[in-house]
Amino acid sequence: MKTITNELIQKFNEYLIDEEKATATIEKYIRDITAFMKWLAGTEITKQMVLAYKQKLIEDYAPASVNSVLSSLNSFFSYNEWYDCKVKALKIQRQVFASKEKELTKAEYEKLLNVAKNKNNERLYYLMQTICSTGIRVSELKYITCNDLKIGQAVIRCKGKTRIVFLTKQLCKMLANYIKKHNVKSGSVFVTKTGKPLDRSNIWSDMKKLCEIAGVSKDKVFPHNLRHLFARTYYSLQKDIVRLADILGHSSVNTTRIYTMESGDVHRKQLQKLGLLRY
């Protein structure tokens, strides 16, 4: 009889740690599996039950979110050798345009910076610029250290990979003034009052607080969208998706293409400039 228990989940958690999965990834897997266990309410796991849960997910979430949960469950099933319980992901046609409602523009980014500065939230002011000028993930902020500002580059270790991220002279100068003012002498540049690296949830919450005053939709304001803005801006200038993939730490340019998608309005304007219509 196949049933999910807290003990099994704990063992899977330890397995993921041994596999050196990112902390955020582990938390997501465990959260998805725990939600499935609660839905089962002690019922035996069968392929039919998993398919029923899949249908529930389809009714409640977007296709990409459904596939994300199914990936967590399938990993758990493979770990327990419950191969007969695994289900297929949804087939999703590749999106051509980014959603205008979710795309953070450069003008909106600057509005957020102005509000952060006016509210004297220096940490958030410089933190957002660090992410947006380097393209790093919010989880990688902790790798930007005081010593890195002296050499103009940081070593980022994430998802089992190591890469070098370059810090511009202007950014290094800004952050050097910041750490001097706040008496941060070593370790990560952005820390809490107790000296620990910032938690992503705190950063998310602080950014959301800027929205109303800045006049920017909350749906657009979250740390990862700064990474997307960096990618679109870089690609619009350099048109080098392979180099951009390296900078972002992507193993596949297909992932990078998602970051460089522009809204339908941009493509519409480009079509209008073709000059192929005659009145």
Residue 107 parent element (H or E): helix 106-118
Same structural domain, 58 and 28 = yes
Average pLDDT, the chain: 90
**Based on the domain organization, do 180 and 118 belong to the same domain?**
yes
The backbone torsions φ and ψ at residue 105, rounded to the nearest 5 degrees and listed phi first, read -90, 165
CA 248, 226, 133 angle in degrees (round to 5)?
65
- Residue 236 domain flag: yes
Indicate which CATH number applies to the domain containing 14: 1.10.150.130
In a domain, 94, yes or no: no
The domain in which residue 137 lies consists of: 106-268
Domain total of the chain: 2
193 inside domain: yes
Q: Put residue 155 in one of left, alpha, beta given phi > 0 → left and psi -120 to 50 → alpha.
A: beta
pLDDT, tens digit (0-9, with 9 covering 90-100), for 234-273: 998 998 999 999 999 998 888 888 888 765 666 667 777 8
Angle at 208 between CA 204 and CA 209, to 5 degrees: 120
- Name which residue leads in pLDDT, 195 or 86: 86
Please tell me whether residues 27 and 114 are part of one structural domain: no
Quick one: 145 and 255 in the same domain?
yes
Indicate if the pLDDT at residue 150 is higher than 70: yes
| Residues 155 and 224 grouped into a single domain | yes
Give, for 154, the enclosing helix (H) or strand (E): strand 153-158
As a whole number of angstroms, the distance between CA 112 and CA 118 comes to 10
Residues 114 and 241 in one domain: yes
Residue 179 Cα distances to 112, 127, 175, 186, 263, angstroms = 22, 12, 6, 9, 38
Q: Does 30 reside within a domain?
A: yes
Are 23 and 29 a contacting pair, CB within 8 Å? no
Q: Which of 50, 85, 120 is the last residue of a domain?
A: 85
- Same domain, yes or no: 121 and 191: yes
Domain boundary among 36, 52, 85: 85
Q: Do 176 and 43 belong to one domain?
A: no
Give the span between the Cα atoms of 189 and 191, in whole angstroms.
Answer: 6
Confidence of residue 98 (pLDDT cuts 50, 70, 90): low
Q: What is the pLDDT of residues 27-84, one digit of tens each?
A: 999 999 999 999 999 999 999 999 999 999 999 998 889 999 999 999 999 999 999 9
Domain contains 163: yes
* pTM more than 0.75: no
Residues known to be catalytic:
137, 159, 224, 227, 250, 259
**Quick check: is 95 in a domain?**
no
State the pLDDT confidence band at 191, using cuts at 50, 70 and 90: very high
Please indicate, yes or no, if residue 98 is contained in any of the structural domains.
Answer: no
Residues 124 and 258 in one domain: yes
113 and 199 part of one domain = yes
Residue 243 sits at the vertex; the CA angle it makes with 238 and 244, to the nearest 5 degrees, is: 75
Residue at 241 is within a domain: yes
Length of the chain: 279
Enter the DSSP assignment of 193: T
pLDDT recorded at residue 97: 57
